[in-house]
């Protein structure tokens, strides 16, 4: 993504950073932030799963420096936006950036091989597509579609979705998919092309398209659900936001073209909800939080 459109997006991100401001953490949340594990057999299972995820993330990042990860993500983003551009609505783009940047501020930082925190230059955008979906790329690009925004009903739901996508970046899920798919050499070509300001070849573009059409491992999606819920709760949103967003899309039909890719690349919404419910009754039990439904619905009115 080059030229005026890219500069415009950078300006939106910078403006959103100024808007993020300070929020207060809802009472009762501190106990939920001690981790996603906990007492009892189910807690130990979650803790073990978290350890496996972090080991997998470490392996995924092993082949890429933070700069290379950003270059790869830039290539991925250019393919996604080449298929469907950003929606031309500055106010809506600023709004989604504001929510996304604030949620991203609540995450646990990833560290590089020398133990130094890795800083992401997060960019959030709304794609002008009626499809119901959200995407992330390595390096910190996160997109939601116009169709998804129409489906959601509160800012807390949006925050949960963005937290889910942020987790895909932080835990290296797409980098892992590149390796498992045997695309490491092709990904290296994308990094080289982007660092040299060159165009991606047709084969590289097809690789990225195939990666998103194939989707991530189900375990990565469940991991992103758990942590996305946590990041949104830390940001002061109602923890059930992501689960409610899943209920909002659960009625989508595989016969509806706007839902086909989402349903084909993610576990069933009801299964994802079932896995989040114990957290709502456990770690997040009694935790309050904002939904900001009226503000969200007012913003959503601009969508056609």
Model's pTM, two decimal places?
0.82
Indicate whether 258 pLDDT > 70: yes
In the chain, count H helices and then E strands.
Answer: 14, 3
Average pLDDT rounded to a whole number, residues 194-205: 93
CB proximity list for 289: less than 8 A, separation 6 or greater: 26, 29, 156, 233, 236, 237, 238, 239, 241
Q: How far apart are the first and last CA of the chain?
A: 25
Tell the residue number behind the tokens 């009226």, with chain if given. 294
Write out pLDDT tens, residues 233-250: 999 999 999 999 999 999
pLDDT at 21 over 70: no
Flag whether 16 is in a domain.
no
125 forms bridges with which residues in the sheet? 143
Q: How many residues does the chain have?
A: 304
pLDDT at 204 > cutoff 90: yes
The C-alpha atoms of residue 117 and residue 291 are separated, in whole angstroms, by: 31
- pLDDT of 260 strictly over 80: yes
Report yes or no on 20 lying in a domain.
Answer: no
Q: Please give the sequence-ordered ranges of beta strands (E in DSSP) within 197-275, or none if there are none.
A: none
Burial class (CB in 10 A: 0-12, 13-18, 19+), 39: exposed
* Residue 234 domain flag: yes
Structural domain contains residue 7: no
Count of structural domains within the chain: 1
Q: pLDDT digits over 265-275, tens only?
A: 999 999 999 99
Q: Domain range for residue 75? A: 34-300
Please state the φ and ψ torsions of residue 290, each to the nearest 5 degrees: -85, 150
How, if at all, do strands 123-127 and 141-145 pair? parallel
């Amino acid at each position: 993504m080059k030229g005026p459109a890219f500069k415009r997006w950078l300006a939106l991100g910078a403006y959103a950073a100024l808007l993020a401001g300070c929020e207060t953490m809802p009472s009762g949340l501190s106990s939920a932030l001690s981790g996603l594990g906990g007492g009892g057999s189910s807690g130990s299972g979650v803790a073990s799963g978290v350890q496996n995820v972090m080991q997998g993330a470490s392996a995924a990042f092993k082949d890429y420096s933070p700069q290379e990860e950003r270059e790869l993500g830039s290539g991925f983003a250019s393919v996604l936006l080449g298929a469907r551009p950003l929606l031309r609505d500055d106010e809506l783009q600023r709004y989604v950036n504001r929510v996304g940047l604030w949620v991203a501020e609540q995450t646990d930082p990833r560290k590089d091989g020398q133990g130094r925190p890795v800083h992401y230059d997060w960019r959030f955008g709304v794609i002008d597509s009626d499809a119901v979906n959200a995407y992330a790329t390595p390096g910190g690009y996160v997109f939601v579609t116009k169709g998804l925004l129409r489906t959601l009903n509160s800012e807390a739901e949006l925050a949960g979705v963005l937290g889910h996508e942020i987790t895909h970046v932080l835990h290296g899920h797409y980098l892992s998919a590149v390796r498992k798919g045997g695309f490491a050499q092709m990904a290296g070509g994308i990094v080289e092309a982007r660092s040299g300001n060159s165009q991606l070849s047709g084969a590289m573009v097809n690789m990225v398209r195939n990666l998103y059409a194939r989707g991530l491992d189900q375990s990565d999606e469940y991991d992103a659900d758990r942590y996305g819920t946590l990041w949104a709760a830390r940001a002061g949103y109602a923890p059930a936001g992501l689960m409610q967003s899943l209920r909002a899309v659960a009625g989508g039909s595989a016969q509806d073209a706007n839902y086909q890719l989402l349903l084909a690349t993610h576990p069933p919404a009801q299964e994802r909800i079932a896995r989040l419910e114990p957290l709502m009754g456990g770690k997040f039990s009694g935790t309050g939080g904002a939904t900001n439904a009226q503000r969200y619905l007012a913003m959503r009115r601009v969508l056609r």
